[in-house]
Amino acid sequence: LDARGFTPLGARPPEIETHLVNAVLTNGARYYVDHAHPEMSTPECLDARTVTLYDRAGELVVIESMDAAKELLGGGQELIAYKNNSDGKGNSYGTHENYLMDRATPFSHIVANATVHFVTRQIFIGAGKVGCEIPGTGVDVVPYQLTQRADFFEEEVGLETTLKRPIINTRDEPHADAQKYRRLHVIVGDANMSEFATWLKVGSTMIVLAMIEDGEFAPELAFRTPVQALRNVSYDLTLAKPLRLADGTTATAIEIQAEIIGAADKYLERYGTEGAGGPDALAVLAAWRETVETLERDPMELSDRIDWVAKKKVLDAYRSRDGIEWGDARLRALDLQYHDMRPDRSVFNKLKMHTIVDHDSAVAGADNPPEDTRAYFRGECLRRFPDAIVAANWDSMVFDTGEPPLRRVPMMEPTRGSAAHVADLLHGCETVKELLDQLQS
């Protein structure tokens, strides 16, 4: 389970995490209870734009769930979901990204090269937060910061996700052919309300990881103390403070990102976009460059795209209007309200933010899987044969045809089971037994 080649005692998640409530949806996503809150996992996607679409579709499913809970509870009671990463009382819950990488890529190369991107990408992926949740650090020291997660990281590399959180997580469960793929489980990121921020977060990281796979991550940059650098970036609203590098020199987060972008430009020109997110990678690169250049000029110009900027603009307006300081509880309440999933109560929903996907596509995505990954087979089987499915996981499905034994279909290759592979087969089978017999033949 550990990318470093061993499985620490107690590494498996507790039973409550994986078995309490667990549903696989017709769009190929997984919707379940993780400890004390709902968690939505998107279906497998091939590019950042599709990830963004299914992230938005997941929001619609959560909104529908809140409406259903309100009707079930009655009496004016309701369950409210917030898409954020911190309760403001020292507790954090993650927004995890998962990338399949070539197993041949040495894990040490990932650690050496990806860390610098994860630390500095905070300048455009941060969701913003009032105050700091490190004990003893008040609003007089950190009145507002770029991210919600930086306070909670303590190590550079490690397996944990809920304590002693690492910048590079080593949990390696590819849910695919482990001889071919490794899974990079990224926990150092925020839950973005902004579609643009989600798209840029995933898209830029896909390009960086493609560069690492091909040994073309040109910037030879490493931080002397990565965890401290992570926090320093989050606490620096000027984006201009120098960060100490391992070789004794310094550079700002913007300078480091600019260097990575320059290397990415050369990489895509040489290798093309196939391994970096497809044609969408070119749009990502252009937006990535424009965003970093604008952040250097004036971050507030991105108040329609970047969450931490949009939220700060709202908070600054309230502070100016009411003459209140950062420590005022009303600002923390407004911070939380930014992430409210109720459309009529969300501060975010009242802003005119740049979008990546249209509403109709997101609505369709709440019910239908992407057509270019194995999520298509999973989702369509759940739609067509729901009563015959005993279990549905990322890498397999188990069917009951009404005749013993149960039949398992392995799905170890994420790009197989797409519409191109199985749509005609699914359309031509009226029963699950017919489908399985056809697959076996």
Structure confidence by residue, pLDDT tens digits, 362-391? 999 999 999 999 999 999 999 999 999 999
The whole-number pLDDT of residue 2 equals: 59
The bridge status of strand 153-158 relative to strand 165-169 is parallel
Q: What is the pLDDT at residue 355?
A: 98
Element (H, E) at 396: strand 396-399
Active site residue 387: no
| pLDDT by residue, tens only, the chain of 441 residues | 656 554 554 444 443 344 456 899 999 999 998 877 899 999 999 999 999 999 999 999 999 999 999 999 999 999 999 999 999 889 999 899 999 999 999 999 999 999 999 999 999 999 999 999 999 999 999 999 999 999 999 999 998 887 789 999 998 999 999 999 999 999 999 999 999 999 999 999 999 999 999 999 977 899 999 999 999 999 999 999 999 999 999 999 999 999 999 999 999 999 999 999 999 999 999 999 999 999 999 999 999 999 999 999 999 999 999 999 999 999 999 999 999 999 999 999 999 999 999 999 999 999 999 999 999 999 999 999 999 999 999 999 999 999 999 999 999 999 999 999 999 999 999 999 999 999 998
Which of 34, 190, 307, 372 is labelled catalytic? 34
pLDDT at 163: 78
Q: Give the separation between CA 74 and CA 245, rounded to whole angstroms.
A: 57
Give the pLDDT confidence score for residue 219 in this predicted structure: 76
Residue type, position 222, single letter: A
Cα–Cα distance, 438 to 154 (Å, whole number): 52
43 cis-preceded (ω within 30 degrees of 0): no
Question: In 3-state terms, what secondary structure has residue 397?
Answer: strand
Q: What is the largest CA-CA distance in the chain?
A: 73
pLDDT at 11: 46
At residue 140, the pLDDT reads: 96
In the chain, what are the domains? 15-363 (3.30.590), 371-440 (no CATH)
Q: What separation in angstroms does the CA of 89 have from each of 55, 93, 311, 419?
A: 26, 12, 20, 46
Q: Which residues of 400-417 are buried (b: 16+ CB within 10 A; e: fewer)?
A: bbeeeeebebebbebeeb
Q: Three-class SS of residue 54?
A: helix
- Identify the bridge partners of residue 98 per DSSP, sorted by sequence position: 185
Q: Which residue has the tokens 């926990």?
A: 187
SS3 223: strand
d(Cα 39, Cα 85) in Å, to the nearest integer?
12
Residue 267 contacts residue 214 (beta carbons within 8 Å): yes
CB atoms < 10 A from the CB of 228, how many?
13
Name every residue whose Cβ is closer than 8 Å to that of residue 208 and which is 6 or more positions away in sequence.
113, 114, 117, 217, 260, 264
Q: What is the pLDDT of residue 162?
A: 79
> Which tokens go with 82?
């917030």
**CA torsion through residues 374, 377, 380, 386, sign:** negative
